[in-house]
């Protein structure tokens, strides 16, 4: 962009021609008041507070938020005319603003009030009767007070331009203008909370965050959201260790202030009354409450009676790097026979799929690439529910940047409404598509440089089998659709492939990860890969090389299964609930029946904990501190926001106490921090050669199944943790079986019927929900619910599940 | 494909001859003669067919040289020639600032984009019939032809005509006219055998005042709430669906076919040096003859009122002329020799606005009329920016206070101060021009405001100056 001289308040500045004046002025440290401007949105020019005076030339007031810089521009940001206009503007705004400031929930945190403090308002008494609207309750979470609304329109624009939902809009005219849902229906949206967080006054507030504590008594902590692997930064205002409000700052990275329902509202699960506050010990067959001393002496006794090799650890990818390192160190030093993660979504895609290709199990793309790349291709799953930030980034890319996103996913949901193109292949056939694309791109001459890579000849040989017709048969897509996508990739200078993972998505994620990684590697600098693990610190665990003893891999492969199924094991389970959370057919329950002694460390009395000998109450989510590494491979800090309930200990402390019982001394916190930093740095900077290995033969044409099960997470949750949040449970769709009305009618099922869903001899009982958005031939249910879910039917490695439905009386 | 010589286009020529004969023998509507006093001082270009053809028959339009200008443009097959003709004619946009039409079309034709649109704006925001809706109701085909020529000139395939949905008759006739044009191959693929492919979608609008703003109209056609957005980017570069877009008033488009046919010189010979051609108005108020009129630019207002309108009706007296509706202004009869052209009206602080001319009788209260217009503006404000949304309502409240006999002299200062603020701070032209009527009234009839305030008396006896509650 061309730099041109301009004058601001008499100062000569250089500015990029065409850039918005407000950005230039603010970048030079000159403040400009606004109520309607938001850098994340298109220029709006509604509040007229950012007006500046043109000193030379045409004169008059111009809005800085929507005026581009021109050569020789000379403006004054605080002239008398400017201040007078702002004072008048503020006066007009407060005329139609319900002034109950002393008792307002935003009384100490109101943008309108701040500006009136700064500029004041004229003292002439203008006749005006404030518009009064009838109160309307449209949501259990979001409280709307139209009498306080100043019509800045930020909420409606964020909802449309950023979230892509358009649940609310400005309606009516003149002083009757207000925000409303379509036809005043109850608010039915994604509950991302952005409308509330952006509201400059108290027109939109969140019921759970209606705190009476003045802002100057609150402590502000910025931490990383740990619900998924996006790494959003959240801002908590706490008082006495209790979060009063949760939101996110506009300048936070990577999320720019955007949140999802989980990250905004899910935190009430910390205060769930079901939280464990005392250790439990099994006495005479029943779990009874006890104190920490007793719990650990029980553990010490149990440890002393068994050989060290009988100890096996299973942890979850939600722990911080520091706690993970401590655990790993303890288990190794003690001589345990194995430590690993459960069947974590994303683990096999990264470790078995991507790792061997790139020499390290890491994604190569950053989240910011989602906006800048020429093309984004989303494969395998819709990130709307599992990784909401990725979805909003892609929506912004589509709506604001007008850049293309192509999605290939068997069960498209929210993003499909916006995507440039949505391909719907047979479930679990993305690996075939990746190979077919490689074949086409090779034919287009785009992959020439890849011939230099290690083992490339074998790869080129193997993709030769993926003729377009073969790929079309394997994926169920048309040849032109595959060719079109290949052409789009060939025409882009930079393509980002996104691979979301979540429980129960059809298709072997290791093979998908590998084939896509090979394609990305062969494209060289023209492509990058972003694998999205489900849990917040899976990448951190991989970077630390966490785990040992289950063969080469940490996943519950046959090696892990074998180890687990040995008799007489001492199992230490941290944050894992295999009985309820693992695919039922992995047979977790049988391991526990064989195990000799089980210690479970968790925040709730999970299904697994009910079988344990000792249960240790632990911290979760933002009660933890340390480092987590997000899907993009960036390390972020986890700060303690909330105090754990009395009686629960930090996970690190529990691990240390456990180690003491075993007579192992662990490094100090400082040493742990240093070692973690060292290992993360090494993982980040490791250089390895790219190796392309042969891909499997194309899949056979997929069989036509009468009814396929889609276990994708419903709007807010897969259920493992989030079902403990009262807030999310009441917002989310009821945990039910979503079925298209036609399909239901054929089976004599009506809305709300109890339906027995069966597959391969397993069955679960669900309530039917007739859903117009549901495609024929597919039923959808959540992975995990309080009384079963898709987990009871699915084996994670299964390609695709056919289910039968029967109405149950 | 090869382009057929269009002047000899068999369909069009045969049909024209056939229907010309038929029209003569059937004589569905009497031709208006120049002898009628209502017609004598008029010069009809845009309104040339209004009242003299059956608006719902494409045959009658064709018989009156209809689609001849389109055929001529297509025959030359040179959009720059069409643009040159328009520029030579001196035609300017018929609302607001009067931007030169030829230049506007050229900007759109030169803008980079893939899928540009042409839009006819027939929204004037008045309640009931307006100039545009009456024009479309009386001669829908000329607007269709004008828009098709515009599409050819700027290289567009998609046209929209935005018309208030509540204008049943205009809507019905326009929809039928579009269908008939399609049936005759005058819309659709390869129009008249040329390379031009173009079709028109009728956009039933809310008819809101704010739709006069081009960016608000774009939002509305896109299916969003009709609110203006800041410029730049201008619609000519970044308009409907983010593509270059040409937006023209119905009256401007109606003048295009005659302009193209006469090569532009005849049109530019009419009117004044800077305001060429003719201007249509919706003449109403206390004159003997009301209706759609069209006069050469430069015609004095007095001529329109006394000769075309036939002077005051029922022996009343005309004290002022209101021009341009809510965002126009008042001109006292003492200034009635002012000529109708962009510059002279601008000097008086008024604009042609919605194209209405209302003769105000002596027994009307100017303050009450200002209050009425301010009420319309306040109700019609799109609500986006506070000066217009709240400011106009405050001004309305002050005006009500004055008409209720509760005003103070300070209220006039408040009104002037608020007017200046609204004018300098509003986002769009409608907000900025909202104090125009008030300011023109204050300029020419301040004593009438003062009578309401100091004497607590309405000189016309219209306002109840004994207070709102009494």
Rounded to whole angstroms, what are the CA distances from A526 to A453, A520, A704, B406?
A: 15, 8, 36, 75
pLDDT higher than threshold 90 for residue B295 = yes
Q: What is the pLDDT of residue A733?
A: 60
Grade residue A766 by pLDDT with cuts at 50, 70 and 90. confident
Report the alpha-carbon distance of residue A56 to residue A51 in Å, rounded: 15
A73: Cα within 13 Å, side-chain hemisphere: 30
- A287-346: pLDDT as tens digits: 999 999 999 999 999 999 999 989 999 898 989 999 999 999 999 999 998 898 888 889
The long-range contacts involving B275-279, CB below 8 angstroms and separated by at least 24 positions, are B275/B92, B275/B98, B275/B341, B275/B342, B275/B343, B276/B89, B276/B90, B276/B91, B276/B92, B277/B45, B277/B89, B277/B90, B277/B91, B278/B43, B278/B44, B278/B45, B278/B46, B279/B94, B279/B340, B279/B352, B279/B355
pLDDT higher than threshold 60 for residue B457 = yes
Q: What is the pLDDT of residue B22?
A: 62
Quickly count: other Cβ atoms within 10 Å of residue A703's Cβ: 9
| DSSP state, residue B100 | B
pLDDT higher than threshold 90 for residue A455 = no
- A111-154: pLDDT as tens digits: 999 999 999 999 988 999 999 998 778 888 999 999 999 999 99
Residue A211, phi then psi, degrees to nearest 5: -95, 145
**How far is the alpha carbon of A122 from chain B, nearest alpha carbon, in Å?**
11
Q: CA geometry: angle at B11 spanning B6 and B14, to 5°? A: 105
Structural tokens at position A305: 């009676």
- A648-673: pLDDT as tens digits: 888 999 999 999 999 999 999 999 99
| DSSP state, residue B33 | P
pLDDT higher than threshold 50 for residue B201 = yes
Q: What is the pLDDT of residue B27?
A: 44
Nearest to A581 by CA among A318, A362, A283, A802: A318
Residues of B with CB under 8 A from a CB of A: 208, 225, 227, 229-230, 232, 242, 378-387, 389-394, 397-398, 401, 414, 417-418, 421, 424-427
- B44-56: pLDDT as tens digits: 999 999 887 788 8
A80, with CB counted inside 10 A (0-12, 13-18, 19+), is exposed
Picking from A42, A61, A150, the nearest residue to B424 by CB comes out as A61
Residues of chain A neighbouring B375 (CB-CB closer than 8 A): none
**How far is the alpha carbon of A5 from chain B, nearest alpha carbon, in Å?**
20
pLDDT higher than threshold 50 for residue B469 = no
Q: What is the pLDDT of residue B292?
A: 92
Grade residue B5 by pLDDT with cuts at 50, 70 and 90. very low
pLDDT higher than threshold 70 for residue A765 = yes
Picking from A47, A60, A68, the nearest residue to B424 by CB comes out as A60
Contact B414 A96 (CB under 8 A): no
pLDDT higher than threshold 90 for residue B222 = yes
Nearest to A208 by CA among A193, A224, A187, A188: A193
Mean of the pLDDT values across residues A271-286? Answer: 92
Distance of CA B132 to the CA centre of its chain: 6
Contact B387 A89 (CB under 8 A): yes
Contact B384 A153 (CB under 8 A): yes
Q: What is the pLDDT of residue B210?
A: 92
Q: What is the pLDDT of residue B2?
A: 42
Mean of the pLDDT values across residues B5-16? Answer: 59
Q: What is the pLDDT of residue B23?
A: 61
* Beta carbons of A557 and A374 less than 8 angstroms apart: no
Task: Report the complex ipTM.
Answer: 0.92
Contact A127 B394 (CB under 8 A): yes
pLDDT higher than threshold 90 for residue A720 = no
* Beta carbons of A232 and A259 less than 8 angstroms apart: yes
Least confident of A271-285, A570-584, B228-242: A570-584
Q: What is the pLDDT of residue A559?
A: 62
Nearest to A148 by CA among A198, A205, A192, A186: A205
* Beta carbons of A483 and A423 less than 8 angstroms apart: no
Report the alpha-carbon distance of residue A487 to residue A484 in Å, rounded: 5
pLDDT higher than threshold 50 for residue B3 = no
Mean of the pLDDT values across residues A614-620? Answer: 91
Which DSSP string do the residues of A594-610 spell out, in sequence order? H-SEEEEEESS--TTGG
Mean per-residue pLDDT of chain A: 89
Stated length of chain A: 809
Grade residue A631 by pLDDT with cuts at 50, 70 and 90. very high
Grade residue A724 by pLDDT with cuts at 50, 70 and 90. confident
Closest chain B residue to A87, measured at CA: B421
pLDDT higher than threshold 80 for residue A83 = yes
**How far is the alpha carbon of B5 from chain A, nearest alpha carbon, in Å?**
40
Mean of the pLDDT values across residues B105-118? Answer: 95
pLDDT higher than threshold 60 for residue A715 = no
Contact A127 B227 (CB under 8 A): no
Q: What is the pLDDT of residue A225?
A: 93
Which DSSP string do the residues of B358-410 spell out, in sequence order? EEEETTS-HHHHHHHHHHHHHHH--SSSHIIIIIHHHHHHHHHHHHTT---HH
Mutate to test the interface with A, among B213, B234, B242, B390 (most CBs of A within 10 A): B390
- B373-395: pLDDT as tens digits: 999 999 999 999 999 999 999 99
Picking from B232, B242, B385, the nearest residue to A48 by CB comes out as B385
- B18-32: pLDDT as tens digits: 666 666 654 444 455
- Where do the DSSP E strands lie in A44-141? 51-54, 61-63, 74-76
Q: What is the pLDDT of residue A734?
A: 60
- B251-271: pLDDT as tens digits: 999 999 999 998 899 999 999
pLDDT higher than threshold 90 for residue B325 = no
Q: What is the pLDDT of residue B111?
A: 95
How many cross-chain Cβ pairs, A to B, lie less than 8 Å apart?
105
Structural tokens at position B448: 């009438």
* Beta carbons of B105 and B153 less than 8 angstroms apart: yes
Residue A186, phi then psi, degrees to nearest 5: -60, 145
Grade residue B438 by pLDDT with cuts at 50, 70 and 90. very high
pLDDT higher than threshold 80 for residue A585 = no
Q: What is the pLDDT of residue B431?
A: 92
- A466-481: pLDDT as tens digits: 999 999 999 999 999 9
Residues of A with CB under 8 A from a CB of B: 42-48, 51, 60-61, 63, 65-68, 81, 85, 88-89, 92-93, 95-96, 124, 126-129, 150-151, 153, 169-177, 402
Residue A303, phi then psi, degrees to nearest 5: -65, -40
Least confident of A59-63, A90-94, B406-410: A59-63
């Amino acid at each position: 962009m061309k730099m041109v001289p301009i004058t601001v308040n008499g100062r000569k500045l250089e500015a990029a021609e065409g850039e918005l004046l407000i950005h230039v002025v603010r970048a030079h440290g000159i403040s400009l008041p606004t109520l309607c401007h938001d850098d994340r949105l298109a220029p709006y020019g509604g509040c007229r507070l950012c007006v500046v005076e043109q000193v030379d030339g045409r004169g008059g007031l111009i809005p800085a938020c929507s005026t581009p810089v021109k050569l020789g521009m000379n403006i004054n940001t605080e002239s008398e005319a400017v201040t007078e206009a702002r004072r008048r503007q503020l006066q007009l705004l407060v005329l139609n603003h319900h002034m109950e400031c002393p008792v307002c929930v935003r009384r100490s945190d109101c943008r309108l009030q701040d500006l009136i403090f700064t500029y004041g308002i004229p003292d002439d008494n203008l006749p005006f009767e404030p518009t009064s609207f009838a109160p309307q309750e449209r949501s259990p979470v979001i409280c709307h007070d139209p009498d306080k609304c100043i019509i800045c329109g930020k909420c409606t624009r964020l909802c449309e331009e950023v979230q892509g939902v358009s649940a609310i809009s400005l309606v009516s005219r003149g002083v009757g203008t207000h925000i409303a849902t379509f036809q005043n229906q109850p608010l039915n949206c994604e509950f991302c909370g952005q409308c509330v967080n952006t509201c400059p006054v108290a027109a939109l507030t969140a019921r759970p965050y209606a705190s009476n504590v003045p802002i100057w008594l609150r402590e502000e902590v910025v931490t990383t959201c740990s619900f998924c692997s996006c790494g959003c930064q959240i801002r908590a205002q706490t008082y006495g260790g209790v979060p009063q409000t949760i939101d996110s700052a506009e300048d936070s990275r990577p999320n720019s202030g955007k949140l999802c329902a989980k990250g905004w509202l899910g935190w009430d699960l910390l205060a769930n009354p079901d939280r464990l506050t005392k250790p439990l010990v099994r006495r005479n067959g029943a779990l009874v409450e006890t104190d920490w001393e007793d719990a650990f002496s029980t553990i010490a006794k149990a440890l002393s009676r068994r050989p060290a090799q009988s100890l096996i650890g299973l942890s979850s990818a939600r722990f911080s790097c520091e706690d993970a390192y401590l655990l790993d160190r303890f288990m190794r030093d003690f001589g345990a026979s194995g430590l690993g993660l459960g069947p974590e979504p994303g683990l096999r895609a990264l470790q078995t799929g991507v790792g061997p290709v790139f020499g390290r199990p890491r994604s190569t793309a950053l989240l910011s690439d989602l906006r800048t790349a020429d093309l984004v291709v989303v494969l395998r799953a819709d990130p709307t529910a599992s990784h909401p930030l990725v979805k909003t980034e892609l929506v912004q890319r589509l709506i604001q940047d007008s850049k293309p996103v192509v999605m290939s996913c068997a069960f498209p949901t929210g993003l499909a409404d916006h995507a440039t193109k949505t391909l719907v292949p047979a479930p679990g056939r993305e690996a075939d598509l990746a190979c077919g694309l490689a074949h086409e791109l090779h034919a287009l001459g785009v992959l020439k440089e890849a011939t230099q890579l290690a083992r490339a000849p074998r790869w080129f040989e193997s993709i030769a089998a993926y003729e377009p017709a073969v790929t079309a048969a394997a994926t169920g897509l048309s040849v032109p659709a595959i060719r079109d996508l290949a052409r789009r990739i060939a025409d882009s200078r930079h393509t980002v492939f996104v691979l979301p993972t979540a429980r129960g998505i059809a298709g072997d994620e290791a093979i998908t990860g590998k084939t896509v990684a090979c394609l990305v590697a062969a494209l060289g600098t023209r492509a990058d890969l972003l694998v999205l693990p489900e849990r917040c610190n899976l990448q951190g665990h991989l970077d630390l090389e966490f785990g040992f003893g289950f063969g080469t891999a940490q996943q519950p492969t046959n090696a892990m299964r074998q180890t687990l199924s040995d008799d007489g094991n001492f199992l230490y389970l941290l944050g894992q609930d295999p009985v309820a959370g693992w695919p039922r057919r992995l047979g977790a329950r049988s391991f526990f029946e064989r195990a000799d002694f089980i210690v479970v460390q968790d925040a709730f009395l999970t299904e697994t904990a009910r079988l344990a000998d000792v249960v240790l109450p632990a911290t979760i989510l933002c009660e933890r501190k340390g480092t987590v590494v997000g899907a993009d491979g960036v390390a972020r800090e986890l700060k303690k926001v909330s105090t754990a309930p009395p009686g629960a200990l930090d996970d690190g402390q529990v691990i240390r106490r456990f180690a003491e019982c075993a007579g192992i001394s662990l490094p100090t916190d400082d040493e742990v921090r240093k070692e973690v930093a060292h290992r993360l740095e090494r993982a980040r900077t490791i250089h390895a050669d790219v190796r392309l290995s042969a891909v499997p033969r194309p899949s056979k044409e997929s069989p036509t199944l009468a009814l396929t099960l889609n276990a994708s997470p419903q709007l807010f949750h897969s259920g493992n943790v989030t079902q403990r949040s009262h807030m999310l449970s009441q917002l989310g769709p009821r945990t039910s079986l979503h079925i298209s009305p036609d399909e239901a009618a054929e089976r004599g099922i009506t809305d709300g019927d109890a339906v027995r869903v069966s597959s391969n001899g397993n069955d679960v009982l669900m309530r039917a929900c007739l859903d117009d958005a549901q495609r024929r031939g597919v039923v959808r249910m959540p992975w995990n619910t309080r009384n079963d879910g898709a987990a009871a039917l699915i084996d994670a490695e299964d390609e695709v599940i056919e289910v039968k439905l029967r109405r149950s009386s | 494909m090869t382009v057929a010589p269009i002047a000899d286009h068999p369909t069009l020529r045969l049909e024209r001859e056939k229907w010309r004969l038929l029209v003569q023998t059937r004589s569905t509507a009497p031709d208006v003669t120049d002898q009628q006093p209502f017609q004598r001082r008029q010069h009809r270009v845009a309104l040339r067919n209004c009242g003299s053809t059956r608006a719902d028959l494409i045959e009658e339009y064709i018989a009156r040289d209809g689609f001849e200008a389109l055929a001529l443009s297509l025959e030359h097959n040179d959009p720059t020639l069409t643009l040159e003709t328009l520029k030579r004619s001196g035609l300017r946009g018929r609302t607001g600032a009067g931007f030169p039409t030829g230049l506007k079309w050229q900007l759109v034709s030169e803008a980079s984009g893939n899928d540009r649109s042409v839009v006819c704006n027939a929204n004037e925001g008045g309640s009931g019939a307006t100039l545009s809706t009456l024009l479309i109701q009386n001669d829908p085909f000329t607007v269709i032809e004008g828009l098709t020529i515009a599409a050819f000139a700027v290289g567009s395939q998609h046209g929209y005509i935005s018309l208030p949905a509540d204008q049943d008759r205009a809507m019905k006739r326009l929809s039928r006219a579009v269908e008939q044009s399609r049936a005759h191959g005058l819309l659709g693929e390869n129009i008249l055998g040329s390379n031009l492919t173009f079709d028109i979608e009728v956009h039933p609008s809310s008819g809101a005042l704010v739709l006069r703003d081009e960016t608000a109209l774009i939002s509305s056609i896109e299916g969003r709430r009709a609110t203006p957005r800041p410029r730049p980017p201008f619609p000519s570069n970044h308009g409907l669906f983010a593509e270059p877009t040409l937006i023209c008033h119905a009256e401007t488009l109606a003048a295009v076919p005659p302009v193209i046919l006469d090569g532009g010189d005849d049109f530019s010979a009419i009117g004044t040096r800077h305001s060429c051609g003719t201007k249509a108005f919706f003449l109403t108020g206390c004159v003997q003859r009301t209706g759609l009129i069209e006069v050469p630019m430069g015609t004095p207002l007095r001529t329109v009122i006394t000769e075309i309108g036939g002077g005051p009706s029922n022996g009343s007296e005309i004290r002022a002329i209101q021009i341009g509706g809510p965002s126009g202004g008042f001109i006292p009869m003492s200034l009635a020799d002012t000529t109708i052209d962009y510059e002279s009206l601008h000097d008086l602080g008024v604009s042609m606005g919605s194209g209405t001319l209302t003769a105000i009788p002596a027994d009307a209260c100017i303050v009450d009329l200002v209050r009425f217009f301010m009420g319309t503006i306040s109700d019609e404000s799109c609500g986006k920016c506070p000066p217009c949304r709240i400011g106009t309502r405050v001004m309305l409240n002050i005006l009500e206070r004055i008409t209720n006999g509760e005003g103070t002299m300070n209220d006039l200062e408040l009104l002037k101060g608020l007017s200046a603020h609204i004018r300098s701070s509003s986002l769009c032209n409608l907000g900025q021009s909202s104090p125009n009527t008030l300011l023109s009234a204050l300029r020419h009839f301040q004593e009438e405001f003062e009578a309401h305030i100091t004497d607590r008396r309405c000189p016309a006896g219209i306002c109840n100056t004994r207070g709102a509650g009494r």
